[in-house]
Structure 1
Amino acid sequence: MSTPAHSVVTTQLAQLGHSNVFDVLEQACQRYGDKPAFSCGPETLSFSELRDKADLFARYLRHEAGLEPGDRLAIQLPNLLQYTIAIFGAMKAGLVIVNTNPQYTPPEARHQFADSGAKAVVVLDKLVPLVRKIEGATDIDLLIITGADDLRNPVYDTDEKEAVRFMQALRRGEALPDVQPERGLDDLALLQYTGGTTGVSKGAMLTHRNILSNVLQAVSIIREGDVEYGNEVRVSPLPLYHIFAFTANCIASVYTGFHSILISNPRDLDSMIADIKRQPITLLTGINSLFVSLMNHPEFDSIDFSKLKWVNSGGAPLNTEIAKRWQARTGAVIREGYGLTETSPVVVASTAFTPYKEGFIGRAVIDTEMKTIDDNGNETPRGEPGELLIRGPQVMQGYWQRPGETAEVITDDGWLKTGDVGIIDDEGFLKLVDRKKDMILVSGFNVYPNDVEDAVMRHPGIRECVAVGVPDERKGEAIKLFVSLNDQSLDEQAIIAHCREHLTGYKVPSYIEIREDLPKSTVGKLLRRVLRDEARAQFEQ
């Protein structure tokens, strides 16, 4: 489902002549060539080296792996240089990328692989057993395996069946014919999975136009003189499988010629700080929980922030007090943004062009319309809350193979219903009043209560449960689980242990409250809102 034409971005795309995301890298090579593009630990790839390796990978994918334009390629890696090679190689080969969280449990990964119809996966060597466990329920028939240290100490051979090492794929690409991009602006580039406005994980269909448009929208907020294209050093701790990092820290950073320092494991603060100290940094992208963790580290004040121009915060709400503390200790402002997977993702940003308004995020980026509506679909006046709707060239085409659910969130005239309640003031600034009805946003990741509850209810000793979000200074929100029991011997520790067996780490509840009964409506429906309001009130006292 397409959105109306948008003049500024459409004109810019025409002037650039880009028809494929890979064109961003080709242009960057012409401008920045041997300058560093990405670093990870002590290893660095220049723009030209990245282009050359991506080209080899594209040749392998098309000519030996036998993948055709439009086929889906899953990437299940932490932030590594190989990830960037895989992204641009897949784009040049005309494939559709399926970004996959490497922390997923087998059921979570199986759903995403099966739903997308991915035919191959680029996977970290440590995760091969997970893929083997679920591949029979998917269309995957090729594993492209890489290790964290592959670029420095390459491994070329594997005993795994129907598999190839990533470095061997690049080596084989040297003897294969060149590949020309065969996908255009309106072809699918990315299936980015999200819960949307319900708890069912769905693939947001993002085209090359969607992503390229959002890159242009994102860089439009940078005022001339604020940065120098080709000479900025940006720390990128957010995972590239997250849409914000994918667009901002990968594609947009290549467009601007920024040198991005990839952080493979931001939980390892010692290593992250060591990476930051390798050279003076000028830009940083993060989320509230990361800022809290960094400021609590004993080495934080020994970091050289003298060249840090500003910090971008996205993927989770920014706590005002944390932003003030950060600026006081580093001298750098945190600029907040708002977006969704379904919008590629940037919608609103705080910029150098706009004054700071406490409690408000910022204004919409170029060619982006916003409005709020009431429960009857009528537009609400400025300054009054309502469901936020977005329209622009970055809005997805719909949910993969789910036309019914697409129709529920995208109107016939191209407005995306976000499910978020917001206020737009007279100057066009956006304030979020509430998140989607039930979604919990933990450290920038969407957690849907149904996912948690389904996993919890696998335990025979649990009768009923409800998961809700509660305020958390570090994570933005944390998960609180209310349960009633069949087995009265169960305690909080046992329930947490059960959750850890079945859920990705950030989905595991932080708090457990055992009750004799949980509140229900007259027809027996569990009253989640009652418990959520009660839990939040306790934390806000």
Structure 2
Amino acid sequence: YSLYSGQTVVLILNPRDINYILDTWRRYSPNVFPGVNTIFNTLANQPDFKEIDFSDFKLAVSGGMPTLQATADLWQQLTGNIICEVYGLSETGPLATFNPNGQTTFSGKVGIPVPLTDVVIIDQHGNPLPYGQPGEVAIRGPQVMQGYWQKPEETAQVMTRDQLFRSGDIGIMDERGFIELIDRKKDMIVVSGFNVYPREIEEVVAQYHKVLEVATIGVKDEKSGEVPKIFIVSKDPSLTEEEILSYTKAHLTAYKCPKYIEFVQELPKSNIGKILRRHLKEQQ
């Protein structure tokens, strides 16, 4: 669409090169900037970013992973623009939902289905769930794949009897049709029978003023089955484990509080900047 409408498109080949992004921003003064939460967060925490002229900037589009409230708040404070979340997967062409124009505050939702597309929240048996109840996000539309190439068994695992594609994401739909993503189904942590979603912990920890980035995984525990472990990239070297434990205890239910905390220099990320929780799990 950008090329079709005559816009100049600048491709950032290495989104980890923040200095290059800053130089490119100064050169082109973009109207629209797409990215993922980690890119927005890293840019917003760069001292030089605060000096950029954002008078031409109109829209930030976020996808690939949920945008944290702390990131959205800081981004709006610096640029004067909200982050607009969209949602989709490679199997959905890739767009499935979007937030309509005109929003003045960050909603924390990925919007409503794109035209000709059905999005349904389903239970483990493929049955639709009522508004406000969490379940798996399932998608049907002309842009959704027919199946994985020459992999009928894998295809059968992700397609329901109604030809809805199981996304593997847990979400909630409100009565207006807006969808909020909770987390990836496979990343859910089960603590003594209670479901704990990593994003909920990350939302809280990311609000702490000394935290730059955070990721959460579940690790085995003899008593509880699993317990949360968080990995933190700090802004301030004075940050301690005791600070985080005290902060999370004040903002989270006891069983959701991290049992283990590890400080790291950086978190494993994909080529586009998505945090790779599975890599953290593999290292345990």
Which bracket does the TM-score occupy, shorter chain normalised? 0.5 to 0.7
Q: For the Cα contact (< 8 Å) 2:94–2:143, is it kept in 1? A: yes
Deviation for aligned residue 1:408: 1.4
Asked if 1:382 is matched to 2:77, the reply is no
Amino acid at match of 2:25: I
Deviation for aligned residue 1:360: 2.4
- Matched ranges for 1:93-172 at <5 A: none
Identity, % of aligned positions? 39
Residue 46 (structure 2) aligns with:
297
Q: 1:402 aligns with which of 151, 154, 158?
A: 151
Deviation for aligned residue 1:372: 1.4
Residue 336 (structure 1) aligns with:
85
Q: For the Cα contact (< 8 Å) 2:137–2:166, is it kept in 1? A: yes
Amino acid at match of 1:478: A
Asked if 1:391 is matched to 2:140, the reply is yes
- Matched ranges for 1:197-276 at <5 A: 252-276=1-25
Q: Deviations over 1:470-520 (max 9, x none)?
A: 7374897636585xxxxxxxxxxxxxxxxxxxxxxxxxxxxxxxxxxx547
Deviation for aligned residue 1:367: 1.0
Residue 249 (structure 2) aligns with:
none
- Matched ranges for 1:367-516 at <5 A: 367-438=116-187, 471=202, 473=206, 478=215
Q: For the Cα contact (< 8 Å) 2:97–2:110, is it kept in 1? A: yes
The normalised TM-score by structure 2 is: 0.68
Q: 1:317 aligns with which of 55, 66, 69?
A: 66
Distance 2:169 2:43 in 1: 29
Amino acid at match of 2:65: A
Q: 1:304 to 1:539 in 2, by over 3 A?
A: farther
Deviation for aligned residue 1:356: 5.5
Distance 2:213 2:144 in 1: 26
Residue 45 (structure 1) aligns with:
none
Distance 2:50 2:152 in 1: 52
Distance 1:297 1:476 in 2: 13
Residue 114 (structure 2) aligns with:
365
Distance 2:229 2:122 in 1: 27
Deviation for aligned residue 1:358: 3.2
Deviation for aligned residue 1:353: 5.5
Distance 1:539 1:532 in 2: 6
Q: Deviations over 1:165-223 (max 9, x none)?
A: xxxxxxxxxxxxxxxxxxxxxxxxxxxxxxxxxxxxxxxxxxxxxxxxxxxxxxxxxxx
Residue 272 (structure 2) aligns with:
none
Amino acid at match of 1:435: R
Residue 537 (structure 1) aligns with:
257
Distance 2:140 2:109 in 1: 20
Larger helix share, 1 or 2: 1
Q: Deviations over 1:138-191 (max 9, x none)?
A: xxxxxxxxxxxxxxxxxxxxxxxxxxxxxxxxxxxxxxxxxxxxxxxxxxxxxx
Q: For the Cα contact (< 8 Å) 2:72–2:106, is it kept in 1? A: no
Distance 1:288 1:265 in 2: 16
Distance 1:368 1:411 in 2: 16
Q: For the Cα contact (< 8 Å) 1:388–1:421, is it kept in 2? A: yes
Q: 1:347 aligns with which of 78, 96, 120?
A: 96
Q: For the Cα contact (< 8 Å) 1:350–1:356, is it kept in 2? A: no
Q: Deviations over 1:58-77 (max 9, x none)?
A: xxxxxxxxxxxxxxxxxxxx
Q: 1:330 to 1:531 in 2, by over 3 A?
A: same
Distance 1:361 1:369 in 2: 14
Deviation for aligned residue 1:330: 0.9
Distance 1:343 1:416 in 2: 8
Distance 1:418 1:265 in 2: 27
Larger Rg: 1
Deviation for aligned residue 1:437: 1.9
Q: 1:365 to 1:539 in 2, by over 3 A?
A: farther
Deviation for aligned residue 1:429: 0.6
Distance 2:60 2:257 in 1: 31
Distance 1:377 1:349 in 2: 24
Q: 1:356 to 1:274 in 2, by over 3 A?
A: closer
Distance 2:48 2:76 in 1: 17
Distance 2:214 2:227 in 1: 12
Distance 2:214 2:140 in 1: 28
Residue 193 (structure 1) aligns with:
none
Residue 236 (structure 2) aligns with:
none
The secondary structure found in structure 2 opposite 1:531 is strand
Q: For the Cα contact (< 8 Å) 1:288–1:475, is it kept in 2? A: no
Q: 1:532 to 1:358 in 2, by over 3 A?
A: farther
Q: For the Cα contact (< 8 Å) 1:319–1:476, is it kept in 2? A: no
Further displaced range: 389-398 or 256-265: 256-265
Q: Deviations over 1:408-442 (max 9, x none)?
A: 111343211112221111100101233222389xx
